Amino acid sequence: MAIGPRLRGRPAHTPGPTFLSYTPNGRKLITVGLNNAMRIFETGSDAEPITIDDVQDAHTAIAAANGFFVVGSEDGTVCKYSLETNSLDGLLVRSTLPIRDIALSPDGIWAAVASDELVVKIVNTHDMERVMYLREQPKPAKHVSFDPSGSYIAVSCTDGVVYVYSLSSEEPELIKKVHGLVRALESDAEASSRVVWHPDGRAFAAPTATRDIQVMSKSDWERQRTFSSGHSREITALAWSLNGALLATAGADRNIVLWDTKTQTIIKRFDQNSVRATILDMQWHPTENLLSYTNNDGELYLHTDIVPPEHASLLEMSLQGAPLIHDPLKEISGNAGRMIASGLMRSGDISGKRFGTPDSLDEILGNDGNSESGLDFIEDDDGAGYVEEANGNGKRTSGHLGNGIAPPPKRPNYNNDWRSPIHMHESFQPGSTPWRGSRRYLCLNLTGFVWTVDQTTHHTITVEFYDQDRFRDFHFTDPFLYDKASLNEHGTLFSCPASVQHPCTIYYRPHETWTTRVDWRVELPAEEEATSIALSSSYVVATTSKGYVRVYSLFGVPLQIFRQKSSPAIACAAWRDYVLTIGNGPLKAGRRTCLQYSIENVKRDQTCQDCDTIPLVSNASLVNVFFSDSGDPCIYDTDGVLLVLQHWRTMGQAKWVPLLDTKQMARLQSGRKKELHWPVAVAREKFHCIILKGGETEPYFPRPLLSEFDFHVPVATLAPSTDDEEEAQVGTEVQRLEESFVRKELLLTLMTDLVHSTNATHAQTVELARAEVDVDKTLLQLIAAECREGEERGMKALEIVGLMKDRTGRMLEAASKIATRFQRDVLREKIDALAERRLVGLEEVEET
């Protein structure tokens, strides 16, 4: 090897553990070791290093900023040295036990100090009296590391748990304990359990007990990619290159391994021949192809051109994304959860921001008021808006122009003008969740649930049922990488996107047959992708990227194919012979498309509703669409409202009626609970959903329990706060009855439509009659409540009597009895008169 002989260790200290740190601008490299000297090397010069002598010896940790560096030693002192005068600047903090690690925040203001004491101290480097304490660890910490934004700190504790704290608040707050990631190590062990944050800040890597390097994402604390089988003994040091494209690791097996972040493959390995002793600390030079490391024998190595020329371009790339399994920034998935708008995501950096010129003023002096990027010199600490927030592209927004109305563009708007994007609704598969870690639900409904696990080369799909007696759970290995599924009591439908080996395929697997299993596959034509699929008890439906709706029978016979009138398609649902498709319609105000749906009866080849609008409030979007168990289309939107389609069997008559507003439910009125509802189904006149707490937006594993809620039509607010308690009592009673009347009336019309349009069974007819009586009974209770209110409510009571459906006269008789009981004689006479008119059939004539 050519590099081998050239690479010469520089004896920096007496033999023993040695540590190093580069200043962020890469000009200087400082090493500390067993003896009482600190050596400062200038990058690019072979001159003898500057030596600072100190009274303490056995230094154990160092961290350097551009103007100073901080050194911790075994006797428990942490000292700050100036790089300008190369002399002691003062004592920063003193601990009773040896210091183990020091980390400086990216702005150099805070120094985190891990010692053999239980508490990790974070000291202000300018004012040593300002200290924050991290107290949650039950054992001493071994390593500390700040994330690239400086708002999180990860503490690797000797109990084998990583404690992640948020530093955004006044008092550091423990946000996550990561179990099972790193090994429990002694605080003076050579092996490392250090957490290193990927430079893009979304993930961190840590050495595991199996000598692999595990990447974990910060957003959901899921295990992501691993850098595996690189070392045969414990890992002692690891470092990301400054753009995150490379990872360097060193182990007790005296190997240095360079990994490509994107593919997690080894691009270069230096074995025992070139490494003389165990490497304890390593760091990349911020700009050059240079990795420096120190070993446990007092030596420093400056390994120039460590990345072989064929891979050197990796180092020159802009900031690379962390190796996440399903990167939300790269993956365009219709139902991907929206990124939380937080500055910590630093999505702006990933969008390819230019790096500064080398040796520019900003590079040397850091960011100041005249810098293009970074912190402005005005710190907007009270949010009064002295400084304008730059948006993701580093531009100021037009918010100052007022009311969000943009000035007229200088050029006329063409269709694909990028400055005024059209907000189209993404397609989604009803009942599925996006990837989280390596798992996702493909379908969740009242029959069961389908979930898939990413095994990198293939997926494994599991289908589980609620009814363990009727169905048998099954599980299979999936080389096609199915990404959509639909499940009902007859079978399971899957679809996979096109790949090199196969076009987009739809796969149906029936649960049970009386012959051998007849599962089938249909391949869509080339370049056509299924955007959503649906399964009913008699048909299979798929909407595709070419704007087609394809309908198959349950045995794979293609029955219909037609162009969807409103496309691109968003979702589809099916129930018995009915197929509901939703697509993007024409633009409406705010340059958003409006949603349009169509309902077809496939069997009779009838169109029930044609390109009718789904009324969504301005910024809301659709969360789920499904048929209820009695066959009425229901939608659930991001505002938390469940809507049902009424009179949808008659063309032009359909309207969306709210059944439940989950944000107005009584259980949330106290304001203490914060929860989201993830819709699953509407069945048995109840809304079935999964309650998500703690800011989650999608259900995850283990599968949460289903909750059910009664419908509550938002007629009035639930609990009006009146001072007079009795008044409020009566008021709510009337309101409750009114809501109950509206709700029962709605359910009655849904049921009437169903009974009249199908061959109703006897039970259904009886049920319908019972529901009618039920509505009238609610009205009777309402009359009683009104009568109790007082004489002056008689007119309202009479009107309510007029709403009664009953034609036999029994209900009117009862109403007149109520009036008698409350001694409202005038009302009673009027009710009796109404009853008589109805009896002889005069009422209808009068109405017309």
Candidates 675, 677, 665, 667; CA nearest to 638 is 677
Which of 356, 294, 366, 303 is CA-nearest to residue 24? 366
- Residue from 196, 818, 831, 835 in contact with other proteins (CB under 8 A): 818
Identify which of residues 377 and 701 has a Cβ nearer to other proteins in the complex.
701
Candidate segments 265-273, 414-422, 743-751, 809-817, binder of other proteins by CB under 8 A: 809-817
Is 701 a binding residue for other proteins by CB under 8 A? The answer is: no
Residues 772-791 that bind other proteins (CB under 8 A): 773, 777, 780-781, 784
CA-based R_g, the chain, Å? 35
663 belongs to the binding site for other proteins (CB under 8 A)? no
- 706 is an interface residue for other proteins by CB under 8 A: yes
581 is written with which tokens? 């498709």
Instruction: Confirm or reject binding of residue 814 to other proteins (CB under 8 A).
Output: yes
How many residues form the binding site for other proteins (CB under 8 A)? 24
234 or 806: CB nearest other proteins: 806
How far apart are CB 468 and other proteins at their closest, in Å? Answer: 4
Q: Which of 127, 379, 469, 723 binds other proteins (CB under 8 A)?
A: 469
Give the helix ranges, DSSP H, for 328-371.
347-350, 361-365
Residue environment code for 317-335, b if the CB has 16+ CB neighbours within 10 A, otherwise e: eebbbbbbbbbbbeeebbb
In the bound complex, what is the minimum distance in angstroms from residue 781's beta carbon to other proteins?
A: 5
d(C-alpha 539, C-alpha 531), whole Å:
17
Which two three-digit tokens encode residue 681? 């189904």
Beta-sheet strand order (sheet of 592-601): 569-575, 578-588, 592-601, 606-614
Q: Does 466 bind other proteins (CB under 8 A)?
A: yes
**Strands of 686-693's sheet in order across:** 675-683, 686-693, 707-710
Interaction between residue 611 and other proteins (CB under 8 A) = no
**Token pair in block for residue 351:** 């969008």
- Judged by beta carbon, residue 36 or residue 781, the one nearer other proteins is 781
Q: How far is Cα 114 from Cα 478, in angstroms, rounded to an integer?
A: 47
The CB-of-814 to other proteins minimum distance in angstroms stands at 4
Which CB sits closer to other proteins, 444 or 580?
Answer: 444
Q: Site residues for other proteins, window 670-699 (CB under 8 A)?
A: 683-684
Q: Which residues contact 359 (CB under 8 A, 6 or more apart)?
A: none
768 Cβ contact partners less than 8 Å away, ≥ 6 residues apart: 748, 751, 752, 755, 760
Residue 752: CB minimum distance to other proteins, A: 22
Would you count residue 589 as binding other proteins (CB under 8 A)?
Answer: no
Q: Which residues pair with 681 in a beta bridge?
A: 688
Which of residues 136 and 629 has its CB atom nearest to other proteins in the complex? 629
Burial of 848 (0-12, 13-18, 19+ CB in 10 A): exposed
The closest of 447, 473, 446 to 461, measured between CA atoms, is 473
Site string for other proteins, 429-448 (x = CB under 8 A): -----------------x--
**Listed residue (437, 552, 533) closest to 492, CA to CA:** 533
Stretch that binds other proteins, among 254-262, 604-612, 748-756, 816-824 (CB under 8 A): 816-824
| Chain residues 735-774 in contact with other proteins, contact rule CB under 8 A | 773
* Nearest-approach distance from CB 448 to other proteins, in angstroms: 9
Give CA 45 to chain center in angstroms.
Answer: 49
Report the DSSP beta bridge partners of residue 534.
541
Spatial distance between the Cα atoms of 801 and 812, rounded to a whole number of angstroms = 7
Q: Judged by CB, which is closer to other proteins: 70, or 801?
A: 801
Task: Report if residue 630 touches other proteins, rule: CB under 8 A.
Answer: no
Task: Work out whether 817 is an interface residue with other proteins (CB under 8 A).
Answer: yes
810 in contact with other proteins (CB under 8 A):
yes
The answer to whether 785 touches 736, Cβ cutoff 8 Å, is no
Write out the H or E segment, with its range, that includes residue 847: helix 842-847
Indicate the Cα dihedral angle 773, 774, 776, 777, nearest 10°: 120
Count of all residues that appear for the chain in the document? 848
* Residue 228 and residue 220 in contact, taking contact as beta carbons nearer than 8 Å: no
Verify binding: residue 821, other proteins, rule CB under 8 A: yes
List 316, 380, 389, 467, residue binding other proteins (CB under 8 A):
467
CB 289 within 8 A of CB 314: no
Select 306 or 818, whichever has its Cβ closest to other proteins. 818
Distance, CA of 52 to CA of 69 (rounded, Å): 12
Q: How far is the CB of 467 from other proteins (least distance, A)?
A: 4
Nearest CB to other proteins, comparing residues 766 and 842: 766
Q: Which is nearer to other proteins, 152 or 822 (CB)?
A: 822
Shortest CB 751 distance to other proteins, Å: 19
Residues in a beta bridge with 99: 115
CB atoms within 10 A of CB 836: 13
**Quick check: 378 binds other proteins (CB under 8 A)?**
no
Residue of 38, 442, 811, 834 that binds other proteins (CB under 8 A): 811
Q: Is 468 in the site for other proteins (CB under 8 A)?
A: yes
666 binds other proteins (CB under 8 A): no
Q: Is 818 helix (H, G, I), strand (E, B) or coil?
A: helix
| Only segment of 21-29, 474-482, 579-587, 815-823 that touches other proteins (CB under 8 A) | 815-823
Nearer to other proteins, 179 or 470 (CB): 470
- In this complex, which beta carbon is closest to other proteins, that of residue 384 or of residue 705? 705
Q: Which is nearer to other proteins, 292 or 445 (CB)?
A: 445
Q: Which residues bind other proteins (CB under 8 A)?
A: 446, 465-470, 683-684, 705-706, 708, 773, 777, 780-781, 784, 810-811, 813-814, 817-818, 821
